[in-house]
Amino acid sequence: MTEKEKQQAGELYFGNDKELMAERVTAKKLCAEYNAITYNDYQKKERILDRLLALRGENTWIEANFFCDYGYNIVIGDNFYSNHNLVILDCADVIFGDNVFIGPNCGFYTAGHPIDAEQRNSGLEYSKPIKVGSNVWIGGNVCVMPGVTIGDNTVIGGGSVVVDDIPSGVVAAGNPCKVIRPITEKDKM
C-alpha cells in the first residue's frame, strides 16, 4: 500500500513521502498564484480554483490569502464565501455544503499527529475528513479539527476550536466548541 493510499484510508502514513510532497508542491504553487492575482481578475481566480479544487459550485469566492495542502480533497457547494486567510489542510476530504460563509483566519485541519512521541517523531501522521453542512456561518479565527462534522443551519462563534461534531440548527462556540442554544424563529431580524 502506498503512503497516499494509507492517507486516503485513514491509516498512519509518512507525510514526507515523495509522491505526497510533489502533490503538495503543485497545490502550494497554485495557491501562491491565486493569492498574487489582481483582486478583480475574477476569471483567472476561477480558472485556478477549477485546477486546484476537486469540485466547486457556483458563486465561490475565497479572499486571498488562501492555502491548502492538496486541493483535490476539497469539495465546495454553491454560494461559498471565505474571508482572508483560509487554511485547509486537506489530507482527507473537506466537504462544504451550499451557502457556507467563513470569517477571516479560519482553519480546517484534517491532519493530525500521534500522541505517542516515538510514532510522531518518526514522521507518521493521520488524517480524518471534515464535513460542513449547508447554511453554515463560521465566525473569524475558528479552528475545525480532524474528523469533525458540522450540521446544517448552524453558526459557529468566532474564536472557537471545534473538536467534536456539532449538530444542525444550533449556535455553538468556545474552546472546546459546545452547543450554546438552538436557532429559533426569534433569531430572525
Nearest to 133 by CA among 157, 158, 153: 153
Annotated active-site residue 84? The verdict is: no
Taking CA atoms, 179 is separated from 61, 132, 168, in Å, by 28, 16, 10
Question: If you ran DSSP here, which 8-state letter would residue 3 be given?
Answer: H
Task: Quote the CA–CA distance of 34 and 64 in Å, as a whole number.
Answer: 7
Task: Quote the CA–CA distance of 41 and 39 in Å, as a whole number.
Answer: 6
Catalytic residue among 28, 113, 128, 131: 113
As annotated, the active-site residues are: 113
